[in-house]
Every structure is written in structure tokens, then in C-alpha cells.
Structure 1
Amino acid sequence: MSNDTPPVALRAADCPPRTRPSNYPPAIRNWLDGKLAGREKRPLGDPFGLTHFGVNLTRLAPGAISALRHAHTLQDEFIYVLEGTPTLITDAGETPLAPGMCAGFRAGSGDAHQLINRSDTDVLYLEIGDRTPGDSAAYPDDDLAAELIDGRWHFTHKDGTAY
């Protein structure tokens, strides 16, 4: 069996976490002041060679956020809470979540979303999103825009200038 052969199955907790805290440019990562340091993402689809959608097992320490509040133009996203009690922030306001609850974010809706862990225990959830080429993301609360080009996120200020 080749080393390139994907596994048949594996334990999600055994998948290695991402080594980079986020795809955001350094100026944004520094500005977040540790809120992303409390986020750990374990890509679950990558070991199987999945290319059309991504799945992450994500842990948020107390005080951590999932991402800046954002909305995708072409990517659907879905989350399922396994442990803990995160707060979902959308254009409609705040919604407390608990284990067994899920939420979906339809592409092109413009409804920006984010999870924050305001509790004193870790939050663990699955996040699933597609990898549609040409996707972009808007960040209504921050001077940030993103565009997916050749499989990589490129970030600019809202006026299009580079970071």
C-alpha cells in the first residue's frame, strides 16, 4: 500500500491541527490579539483527499472566536455543535447554541455569521463548507474583503488596497 493511499477511517481527534492560526493577513491576526489563538482546527476531509468540500473539527477555548463575522458569496457553510455553548452572531443578533444544535449559512445570503465562546469551558463543533472556485467573503464589521483565487484566500481592505 502506497503512502499516498488515503485511510479508510480514522479518529477525528487524531487528525493533526492546522499549523497556521488563520488565513488572515498578519495585520489582522495581530489585531485579533489572541482571540484566534484559542481556536484549533483539525481538517478532517484532507486526509481522505476530499477536494469539493472541507470539514473541520474546531475547538474554541473560552473567549475565542471562530472567525471574524463574514458572509460568503458562493460557499454554503454548516456547523454542528458537539460540546459546549457557543454564541452564534448573525445579522439577526445573538443566538445561544448547545450540543446537538446546528446552523447553516446559505451562499449569497449576505447574512454574516460568527461563533464566540463566552463560556468558561471549551466549545467543540464540526464545520463544513464547500470549496467553490471564485468565492469571496464580505466582513461587515471590519475593513476586510477576501477572494478565493486558485484555491487560496487573498485579502484586501474593502477599498481593494493590499494589506
Structure 2
Amino acid sequence: MNQSPISATSIPATQGQTIYPEPYASLVQGRLKRKLGDFFGLKNFGVNLTDLAPGAQSALLHHHSQQDEFIFILAGTPTLILGDRELTLGPGDCYGFPAGTGIAHQLVNPSAEPVRYLEIGDRSPNDQVNYPNDDLQASLTDGQWIITHKDGQLY
């Protein structure tokens, strides 16, 4: 374990890495994610420093059955899609997504400037993720994500 504080931007980043299969994986190519919680060995919750390039999105529109999520905007003006609403966020804005509400969400960056935000989520076992606009569902089983079509067939 790292014993000294470090700059969050020095933690290795993944560009567009996702659990999504194609054709969905390419939709998050403009996302750069630094898994701060993983770097420090956190087991109960995750913390990511995420950048969205202009035109990029954080994820597919989704909601969780077990996992709570929280975002805090550091830079830029992303649009939060929350159910059928669109809300413009700015630096200092935050929002929490309680599990089990059935209200889908995602961040998109429609601006010409990059967006940077912190995302925090717990690591609840047996989480189910629903993607209302896509033929995709995800299940967290024994610490691994299993991705299927909505009819249950594996990708």
C-alpha cells in the first residue's frame, strides 16, 4: 500500500475501457478513468477521477439494483440525463443516485471543453444493472460482471 499522498492525476488511467461489449463499448471511448480507490486497495467502495472529452459519455443510460452512486463535478459543464430530464451541471455541483429507484442516469459532455468529475460507488454484491435503452444487462456475481442480452443470452 502506498504510504504517501500522491497526485490523483499520476494514477494510471484507462481510456475507454469498459465491461460493455460492442457496439456499446465504442460509446465510451472518450472517457478517461483513474481508479483512485483501486490504487489504494479500497474494498468497500470505489472512487474514480473521470474525464469526458467533448462529445463523450460516462456510460450507457443505466440504474443499479444495489449500488449507490455519487458524482461531484470538478470542471466543465456536463449534462446529467436523469430519467426523462436533462440537467446542466457545473463545477461544485454534485448528485447522488440511490440504488433501487429505477431512475436511469448518465453524464454526457455536449460542450467543446473537457469535463472532470469524481464518481463514487459502493461495491454491493449481487448488483443488477438495467440499461433501459439498450439490449444489455449486467449482473455482479462473485466479484465479476456478467454481461448479457435482456433475454439472458451471453454476449
Match of 1:76 among 68, 75, 80: 68
Query: What code does the residue aligned with 1:14 have?
Result: S
The question of whether the paired residues in 2 share the 8 Å contact of 1:44 and 1:57 is answered with yes
1:105-120 correspondence to structure 2 within 5 Å = 105-120=97-112
- Partner Cα distance (1:140, 1:115) in 2: 15
Q: Deviations over 1:47-87 (max 9, x none)?
A: 21101000000000000000000000000000000000000
Aligned residues: 155
| TM-score after normalising by structure 2 | 0.95
**CA positional deviation for 1:19:** 6.0
C-alpha root-mean-square deviation of aligned residues, in Å?
Answer: 1.3
- Partner Cα distance (2:3, 2:105) in 1: 33
Match of 1:159 among 148, 151, 154: 151
CA gap 1:99/1:19 in 2 versus in 1, 3 angstroms: closer
- Partner Cα distance (2:47, 2:134) in 1: 26
**CA positional deviation for 1:10:** 1.3
Query: What code does the residue aligned with 1:69 have?
Result: L
- Partner Cα distance (1:124, 1:19) in 2: 14
The question of whether the paired residues in 1 share the 8 Å contact of 2:15 and 2:29 is answered with no
1:5-154 correspondence to structure 2 within 5 Å = 5-18=1-14, 21-29=17-25, 32=26, 35-154=27-146
Q: Deviations over 1:112-149 (max 9, x none)?
A: 00000000000000000000111110000111110001
SS in 2 for 1:94: strand
SS in 2 for 1:155: strand
Please list every run of 5 or more consecutive structure 2 residues that lacks an aligned counterpart in the other structure: none
Query: What code does the residue aligned with 2:117 have?
Result: Y
**CA positional deviation for 1:103:** 0.6
| TM-score after normalising by structure 1 | 0.91
The question of whether the paired residues in 2 share the 8 Å contact of 1:40 and 1:60 is answered with yes
**CA positional deviation for 1:37:** 1.4
Please list every run of 5 or more consecutive structure 1 residues that lacks an aligned counterpart in the other structure: none
After TM superposition, the runs of 4+ consecutive aligned structure 1 residues lying more than 4 A away are none
Query: What code does the residue aligned with 1:42 have?
Result: R
**CA positional deviation for 1:27:** 4.0
- Partner Cα distance (1:110, 1:147) in 2: 15
- Partner Cα distance (1:110, 1:81) in 2: 23
